[in-house]
A and B are shown apart, each in its own frame.
Chain A
Amino acid sequence: MIGEKTELTLPSRIDTVATAAAAVADFVGRYGISDDAAFGIDMAVREAVTNAVLHGNRQDEKKVVEIILKSSPDAVEISVHDQGPGFNPEAVPDPTEQENILKTSGRGIFFMRTFMDEVDWTIRPGGGTTVRMLKRR
């Protein structure tokens, strides 16, 4: 992927979600994508960073959330890395199944998958999870 690249390192706090979303909005704004795509990216980034802060780093301020933004003529790629123990995204129940509709949590990954064209997770051997999300033009 050739194009612009930006890296952010942010603390494991709830307000990092808004900080990251603003930085990503600025980045994709320069890229010239549709409002709908920008909305979807914003949703996905907020959910990914929320997961990194809450479930990955468990708001441990000694841990950080790293975000890498890349653009190419074809797509925007966003990677969010935490320093948590990792998890299995396939084990997260489908929130749209009848028995889960009234659950108060568990929709973040669903939104990431809904609004982005590609989403995958990598568990690093040394610890930490990276979620990579791609939105095509």
Chain B
Amino acid sequence: MAELNINERQAGDVTVLDMSGKITIGEGSVALRTAIRRLLEEGKKRILLNLAGVGYIDSSGIGELVSSYTAIGKDGGQLKLLNLTQKLQDLLTITKLLTVFDVYDSEAEALNSFK
């Protein structure tokens, strides 16, 4: 089984990536980077990462989230986060990244925020 599984679905003009597993150095971080690059190449710039199934992330994974956020922003798009686990929320809090990312607990609310 892959370290990080990513399932893509479309909700209107927002692409939702349902993720499960670990975003850590190596396979997990690369999988996220590859998915975001591909979406940008396809012109999909409104992206919601559903992190409900991500139980673990390291500094490399957090770096990849930041890199994704910056790359999408530079391309005129938006990256938002949905369903953070408590651990991930804690990590984003201590790194002060919770002040940067737009984070939601409700998918409907998250999707509405793109409009």
Q: A39-B87, A47-B58 are in contact. Are A101 and B25 (CB under 8 A)?
A: no
Contact pick for A101, options B58, B60, B95, CB 8 Å: B95
Q: Are B96 and A108 in contact, CB atoms less than 8 angstroms apart?
A: no
Q: State the Cβ distance, A5 to closest chain B Cβ, in Å.
A: 26
Q: State the Cβ distance, A99 to closest chain B Cβ, in Å.
A: 12
Q: Are B58 and A96 in contact, CB atoms less than 8 angstroms apart?
A: no
Q: How far is the CA of A4 from the CA of B91 in the complex (A)?
A: 31
Q: Are B24 and A107 in contact, CB atoms less than 8 angstroms apart?
A: no
Q: How large is the interface on B (under 10, 10 to 19, 20 to 34, 35 or more residues)?
A: 20 to 34
Q: Are A101 and B100 in contact, CB atoms less than 8 angstroms apart?
A: yes
Kindly state whether residue B89 has any CB partner on chain A within 8 Å. no
Inter-chain contact count A-B, CB under 8 Å?
53
Contact pick for B70, options A43, A46, A102, A111, CB 8 Å: A102
Give the residues in chain B near A110, CB-CB below 8 Å: 59, 95
Total number of A residues with any Cβ neighbor in B under 8 Å: 21
Q: Are B59 and A107 in contact, CB atoms less than 8 angstroms apart?
A: yes
Q: Mark each residue of chain A from 95 to 117: 1 if its CB lies under 8 Å from any CB of chain B, else 0.
A: 11000011111011011001000
List residues of A (4-56) whose CB comes within 8 Å of B's CBs. 14-15, 17-18, 39, 43, 46-47, 50
20 contacts between A and B (CB under 8 A): A14-B25, A14-B26, A17-B25, A46-B24, A46-B58, A50-B25, A50-B58, A96-B94, A101-B95, A101-B96, A102-B70, A102-B100, A103-B63, A104-B66, A104-B67, A107-B59, A108-B59, A110-B95, A111-B58, A114-B94
Residues of B within 8 A of A (CB): 24-26, 58-60, 62-64, 66-67, 69-70, 87, 91, 94-97, 99-100
